Structure 1
């Protein structure tokens, strides 16, 4: 069966770096279903996140605009939370107006969370839901016997990037749930108008709470992290503490579980593709697979996202659509999340209904106006802000409150050596000047207003190192009804259950006492009791 307009399936992972995918040359990981998308579609080898952190990247993706317009230069939570301006069109709104049936499943990270942003149906799975009632996955767990569970996506505070196991069965895990809901929709939608589905997996974003039957898939198979040869930026040094991985064994085990989380997502993507085939929908569906950003995972000695290095900012970007994309093709042009909205509108035959200066363009256009010979990335504000421009060979990074950096990605793809440290060669100086001049033009046009003054970067005071821990406890228990609160289990019990089969985790060495006393209100006696229980079970 062939229809004039394609169904559209956008599949996203959170915090998935490009080089942990088989189709991108990773020889130690198994991702057969993601690799299938590459084999049957186009692999964009230079995909990037234009702002490598969750909320900004996702608002770039859905609006096609930068923080200059939507306001999210970084994540904003709690008292600092803000809303995406209602006046900005989203690809879901536009396609809904063009009679697409639109559905969002899984992690979206909209703000406000329950604003569907143009989706007719919204099955939410947030990392930290404020209430069960606003989160379909949390309700699903309650209905399936986990009404006592506080940590619905693994134990976060004190174990954020620590090795751990899932507290729920494989078939109840969030990655499995996303595929289940997608499969249900494919079966129900068959024969109706074309659909737009965004299926958003949380993994491999930490916590790395992998189901037990997947947890040992990569034991002893992951290479060690890279090391830097020149000093890191202040922001990269600040991220080191987020790992709380105090020895090589724990670090290597966390890397193994990160890989296992990816393979489990891949398995569930395979289930989705099989159902599309069963319903004879596969070749009528444009499938775009990507992530919002990467994960340093100990490379260069640091962790998490927020950084301009490729481990943090370079993403998979795979497009399968037999009607217009040649199977097994590769495209070396620079593409990013800003290109998603124009690409989906192009495929659906829809026009952009506003006059904003879109930084992206449809990747289906072979001769467009966007300069795909360079890639612009930005993050944060004030002295913490940085922006970057790379071309085929060099990446230049300007930190408003720190030293600038230049990397030769041809000779040093791991970005281990800043060519500007200790004095630049004539060749490096020329590359720096050329890219800096171009970067100023991008920053003036697409960056936050006021960052370029009189043709140069606005001077800022030095950024001061401010190490911190992940200290977000589950939120919904605070808002639960008294009888539901009484049914909840102990956070300490969940913590111990998560690490029981992970002996590299040692609570006396990973700052657990400091975190639980400083942010969790635990008394000295409670912490001593927890640590003693952990030691008895080998942690």
Structure 2
């Protein structure tokens, strides 16, 4: 009788998700994420900024794990990229195609599946998906884009709480507090997500004078004339030369004294929310730097090119100052894992929602399928699995993150997920049929910065995309033209390649059931 009475309990144990000792040994997942972090500003990736503005803590992940050289986003814009990560699907499949959409939190996401399998899940920091997070045991998120100074955090009961200090530091503070208080009998998956280095690039008080004594090298294409490519490039509204605002971007007070050269219209909202002490530090740092520039503008002694040079230095230094705080706080998280005996059984990923233009093609922002925007950082440390110091060349996308996390946790990957698990690649056993190209689609327009809708395919050498509004193709030979200065779609010597790339484009659109029109 006793054996019969215990049978239902035994059956229940077999049927229930495994949450016992064996499952507790599954690795923790720490997903460190930022906004608009360009590869050019991560020293482990190389480039013109590596010696001027090193990122030693992010570089630790490259040295102790892997740094992917060919990591790409599926849609280069903040909210859609995050939705791709959550679902493992392209934007037209997860329903979040443009900033301003509302994410359907009822759909399957990897945090929901991890939580169901026994993981404790949390997201802290920038969310930007409009609806409340689902699938998390704990969440605390910034409203919209969030603020750098004295930010508000939305709580799980819907209320907002304002915290004094600097956002990048506070996101890390709150993440560490959650780690301290979590249920330590379960593995965790924590998404620690920073606002920085999103526009308007407001540095922490401790970094306001960083790089003041340095002249940052300009990108070769800062003065791109946009010839040899679509006329759409000249219509974009994201140039340093014409589309920076006096207060918001350039940190100047009052009204523009040269409105025909530097626009008014956007206030510096960060300055407006600062405390008196914060404002005093800000003014002490920026005042002396602004004074000679304003005097020269009043005296009309600066050429347009000299104004552009000043704008670039102001922009890139503020951007890199924001990166410095991100890097410092990545270091804080890595140190926390070490001090609390978690490093060996915690997978750490660092990524960002897309790349960013740091003056390349004369631009800031993202959106276009050009390399600086399309490429996104992906670094991963997985002790005992990922070989230290490796630089995988496989082409990966942010739709791959969800299936990767699921396989790591031993959770079955749903058949409708469009990405592929990176686990075999991370173990050094790349499948023979691993992708040789990636598909990209951008859906906004009309919209901010006037970048047109387009979708396309990138291989190891060629890139092709289509602009439906002008019924126009663009194709680039990345080997001969890495700066993407001339489209060869109508070059007779590329006729056969153009035909092949159009066929590949049609094949990938059909495979992913693309809907761009």
TM-score, normalization by structure 1: 0.71
Separation (CA, whole Å) in 1 of partners of 2:333 and 2:161: 19
- 1:235-272 Cα deviation digits (max 9, x unpaired): 54343346523432012210111112112100011011
Q: Residue in 2 aligned with 1:195?
A: 188
Q: Aligned in 2, Cα 1:361/1:133: closer, same or farther, shift over 3 Å?
A: closer
Q: Which residue of 1 aligns with 2:154?
A: 134
1:124 and 2:141 matched = yes
Larger of the two Rg values belongs to structure: 2
CA distance in 1 between partners of 2:194 and 2:41 (Å)? 16
1:4 aligns with 2:73: no
Residue 372 (structure 1) shift:
2.3
Question: Per-residue deviation at 1:302?
Answer: 2.5
Does the CA-based 8 Å contact 2:40-2:46 persist in structure 1? Answer: yes
CA distance in 1, matches of 2:376, 2:462: 18
Q: Which residue of 2 aligns with 1:212?
A: 205
1:410-468, CA deviations, whole angstroms, 9 ceiling, x for partnerless residues? Answer: 23322222223xx4141x2222221221111111222533x5xxxxxx6xxxxxxxxxx
Conserved? CA contact 2:79–2:128, under 8 Å: yes
Which deviations, in whole Å up to 9, do the C-alpha atoms of 1:332-355 show, x marking residues without a partner? 010110000011011111112x44
Does structure 2 conserve the Cα–Cα contact (< 8 Å) formed by 1:60 and 1:337?
yes
Match of 1:265 among 326, 351, 360: 326
TM-score, with structure 2 as normaliser: 0.74
Return the match for 1:63 from 49, 71, 87.
87
- Structure 1 pair 49/283, CA: closer, same or farther in 2 (3 Å)? same
* Superposed CA RMSD: 2.7
Tell me the SS of whatever aligns to 1:177: helix
| 1:128-167 correspondence to structure 2 within 5 Å | 128=145, 134=154, 139-141=160-162, 144=164
User: For 1:84 and 1:239, how far apart are their aligned partners in 2?
Assistant: 31
Judge conservation of contact 2:36–2:356 (CA < 8 Å) in 1. yes
2:502 to 433, 436, 443: 436
Give the Cα separation in 2 of the matches to 1:434 and 1:218.
Answer: 47
Offset of residue 22 of structure 1:
0.7
SS in structure 1 opposite 2:113? helix
- The answer on 1:329 being equivalent to 2:390 is yes
Question: Contact (CA 8 Å) 2:105, 2:134: kept in 1 or not?
Answer: no
User: Paired residue for 1:39?
Assistant: 63
Give yes or no for the alignment of 1:23 onto 2:41. Answer: no
- Contact map agreement 2:31 2:348 (CA 8 A) in 1: yes
Change (3 A) 1:135 1:430: farther
Structure 2: tracts of 5 or more residues without a match = 1-20, 245-261, 263-306, 447-451
1:225 aligns with 2:212: no
Q: Which moved more, 1:428-437 or 1:324-333?
A: 428-437
Report the Cα distance in structure 2 between the residues aligned to 1:370 and 1:201, rounded to whole angstroms. 35
Aligned to 1:291: 352
Give, in angstroms, the shift of residue 358 of structure 1. 1.8
Q: For residues 445 and 78 of structure 2, what CA distance do their matches in structure 1 show?
A: 19
* 1:432-511 aligned within 5 A: 432-449=498-515, 451=516
Q: Tell me how far 1:221 sits from its aligned partner.
A: 3.9
* Partner residue in 2 for 1:373: 436
3-state DSSP class of the match of 2:396? Answer: strand
The answer for the alignment partner of 2:424 in structure 1 is 364
Task: Kindly indicate whether the alpha-carbon contact (under 8 Å) linking 1:54 and 1:293 is maintained by their aligned counterparts in 2.
Answer: yes
Structure 2 CA distance for partners of 1:309 and 1:96, relative to 1, 3 Å: same
| Structure 2 match to 1:409 | 478
Q: Who is 2:129 aligned against?
A: 110
Q: Which of 392, 401, 405 is 2:460 aligned to?
A: 392
Q: Which residue of 2 aligns with 1:301?
A: 362
CA contact (8 A) 1:360 1:370 kept: no
> Contact between 2:85 and 2:401, CA under 8 Å: does it hold in 1?
yes
Residue of structure 1 in register with 2:98 after alignment: 74
Q: Using the TM superposition, name which of 246-255 and 231-240 deviates more.
A: 231-240
Q: Is the 8 A contact 1:361 1:370 kept in 2?
A: no
In the other structure, the counterpart of 2:491 is 424
1:13–1:204 contact (8 Å) kept in structure 2: yes
1:48 alignment counterpart? 72
Cα deviation, 1:496-528, whole Å, max 9, x if unaligned, reads xxxxxxxxxxxxxxxxxxxxxxxxxxxxxxxxx
Change (3 A) 1:363 1:216: farther
Give 1:330 deviation, angstroms: 1.2
SS in 1 for 2:313: helix
- The one of 90, 108, 120 equivalent to 2:109 is 90
Q: Distance in 2 between matches of 1:235 and 1:215?
A: 36
Quote the Cα distance in structure 2 between the aligned partners of 1:191 and 1:132: 28
Cα deviation digits, residues 94-122 of structure 1 (max 9, x gap): 0000110101010121231x2x2211100
Contact 2:424 2:430 in 1 (8 A): no
Q: 8 Å contact 2:69–2:392 — kept in the other structure?
A: yes
Give a deviation string over 1:292-339, Cα, whole Å, max 9, x none: 112223311223111101111101111100131111111001011000
Q: State whether residues 84 and 111 of structure 1, in contact with CA within 8 Å, keep that contact through their aligned partners in structure 2.
A: no
Instruction: State the aligned residue count.
Output: 412
